[in-house]
């Protein structure tokens, strides 16, 4: 296997690109960024200095992944998504002087394994997107997202749960063998995995 980098891409020699990864036209990968194996960085996307991505991540066209973002294995970043890095953004200091790198402390977005962020969503750092969660297109995430949560809106709110296949979970009813009175359970329509809900989290259960 090898790394494929388009002629028009701007990839720092100080970046580390994993085997089998592809960097497409007009994308930029900054110094000290680390991409895992089999990643895809789409046209015009930006990967900031020191950003770390796991294996098999997809960053779609014109997405902006600002440092110090951390993406685990199998993360999907949709077209034109922005992961911010400045909690209190200003171009200038109180005295009117232009801010330099030493005048502010970057804060990052953490995206855990298998999570997906839909087109044009904005994640306002510092936030963590839990494993296998889904952020709807156009959402603005201002607080942590639990694993397997489906969030949407401005600001984003949980509107359901999703399984590893990305499809919304279906409530387990009395006709389902996984049903247990006194519990709230959900089933993935693709994998048939059953989850049990407790407060604002869910966990897989064996049947």
Residue length of the chain: 207
- Is the full-model pTM beyond 0.85? yes
Judgement on whether residues 157 and 207 belong to the same structural domain of the protein: no
What is the reported pLDDT for 40? 98
Q: Check residue 125 and report its DSSP letter.
A: S
- Of 181, 157, 144, 186, nearest to 169 by C-alpha is 186
Dist CA 140 CA 119 (whole Å)? 11
3-state secondary structure string across 117-155: ECCCCEECCCEEECCCCEECCCCEECCCECCCEEEECCC
Dist CA 73 CA 206 (whole Å)? 25
Count how many domains the chain has: 2
Judgement on whether residues 183 and 150 belong to the same structural domain of the protein: no
Judgement on whether residues 157 and 177 belong to the same structural domain of the protein: no
Judgement on whether residues 137 and 191 belong to the same structural domain of the protein: no
What is the reported pLDDT for 207? 78
What is the reported pLDDT for 155? 98
Judgement on whether residues 71 and 61 belong to the same structural domain of the protein: yes
CATH code for the domain of 156: 2.160.10.10
Query: Which residues in the chain come in under a pLDDT of 70?
Result: 1
Q: Report whether 7 contacts 26 (CB < 8 A).
A: no
What is the reported pLDDT for 193? 95
* Burial (CB count <10 Å: 0-12, 13-18, 19+), residue 65: buried
Domain that holds residue 202: 164-207
What is the reported pLDDT for 102? 87
What is the reported pLDDT for 6? 97
What is the reported pLDDT for 74? 98
Judgement on whether residues 175 and 146 belong to the same structural domain of the protein: no
Judgement on whether residues 91 and 37 belong to the same structural domain of the protein: yes
């Amino acid at each position: 296997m090898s790394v494929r980098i388009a002629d028009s891409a701007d990839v720092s020699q100080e970046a580390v690109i994993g085997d089998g990864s592809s960097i497409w036209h007009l994308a930029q990968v900054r110094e000290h960024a680390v991409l895992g194996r089999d990643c895809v960085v789409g046209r015009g996307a930006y990967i900031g200095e020191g950003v770390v991505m796991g294996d098999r991540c997809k960053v779609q066209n014109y997405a902006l992944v600002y440092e110090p973002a951390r993406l685990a294995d199998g993360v999907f970043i949709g077209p034109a998504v922005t992961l911010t890095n400045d909690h209190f953004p200003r171009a200038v200091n109180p005295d009117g002087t232009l801010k330099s790198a030493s005048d502010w402390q970057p804060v990052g977005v953490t995206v855990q394994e298998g999570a997906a962020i839909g087109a044009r969503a904005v994640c306002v750092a510092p936030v963590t997107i839990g494993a296998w969660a889904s952020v709807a297109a156009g959402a603005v995430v201002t607080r942590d997202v639990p694993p397997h949560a489906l969030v949407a809106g401005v600001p984003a709110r949980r509107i359901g749960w999703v399984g590893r296949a990305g499809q919304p979970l279906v409530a387990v009813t009395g006709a389902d063998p996984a049903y247990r009175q006194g519990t709230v359970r959900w089933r993935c329509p693709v994998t048939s995995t059953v989850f049990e809900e407790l407060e604002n989290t869910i966990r897989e259960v064996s049947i």
